[in-house]
Amino acid sequence: MKIKSLLLGAVLALGITTSANAGMITIDDFSDDQGPLAVMQGETLFSSVLGSMIGGERDLEITSVVDVYNQGASVNVAADNFFFSSGAGNESMFTIQWDGVDGSNAINPFGLGGLDLTAIGGPIKFITTMIESDLDAWFDVTFWSGPNGTAETVELPIPGVDRPGRDAFFLSSEFSNTDFTNIGAIQVRGNIASPDTGLMQRSYDLQLDGVTAVPEPGSLALALLAVLGIAVRRRA
């Protein structure tokens, strides 16, 4: 009974502490409008906008690779949301970069000045709210980190959503060689070629509401439960 009481009390105390210390870093709340950038087959367009996003600038690019029916594709930021749309028969990819103020689509691996994302606690959970994603698609995320600005890229499946407002997320633990105490640049590429089919999605509509980094909930609680579980087994 004492061990059970200790376990419950420790978990409750940890929950209070975690809640009190929980922080959040806003990567981009998409409050600064940009675009639209509209492309046809073989075209690439790029723009930068200054604002309240991390690093003070967002770089945005879109490339159309295939456009069977000349429907085009577009990307823009408006009304606190990010929008991407490709027409029927169109395969296009977009890129968002946060690497400080440089006005260029060439990555500055030190542009964020060694940002410590672990200051809010860790491991870290990166979240975006999906207002619309009408197809399953693939993204890749790249962090540049450390004194040498080393890049690490992870490919991530992004599911279609069955209801507006569903969160999509990935964890810092999916990156084995990134120093999250010293981040120099962040890049997201959307609607990349599927590793299964080698194709991008066609006629794909995506709408996102902000990108944030928060401490992964329950990570400390799980560690404590594991330790206390060992203690229980030893006592038994």
CB-CB neighbours of 125 under 10 Å: 18
Q: Which one-letter DSSP state was computed for residue 120?
A: G
CB-CB neighbours of 187 under 10 Å: 19
Give the DSSP H/E element, type plus range, for residue 221. helix 219-235
pLDDT at 175: 97
pLDDT at 87: 97
pLDDT at 198: 94
Residue 35 in domain: yes
Q: Which residue reads 């540049």 in tokens?
A: 144
Residue 159 in domain: yes
Residue 48 in domain: yes
Chain centre to alpha carbon of residue 117: 13
Residue 80 in domain: yes
User: Do 62 and 76 meet the contact criterion of CB atoms below 8 Å apart?
Assistant: no
User: Do 208 and 137 meet the contact criterion of CB atoms below 8 Å apart?
Assistant: no
Residue 7 in domain: no
Successive 10-residue mean pLDDT values, the chain, 236 residues: 30 32 85 98 98 98 97 98 97 98 98 96 92 95 98 94 85 96 98 94 96 78 43 41
**Domain span at residue 62?**
21-215
Residue 233 in domain: no
Residue 44 β-bridge partners: 63
- Residue 56 in tokens: 């003070």
pTM, full prediction: 0.83
Domain total in the chain:
1
> CATH number, domain at 178?
2.60.120
Q: Which residue reads 């029916």 in tokens?
A: 69
pLDDT at 213: 96
Q: Which residue reads 């599911």 in tokens?
A: 159
Residue 191 in domain: yes
Tell me the backbone φ, ψ of residue 21, rounded to 5 degrees.
-95, 0
Residue 117 in domain: yes
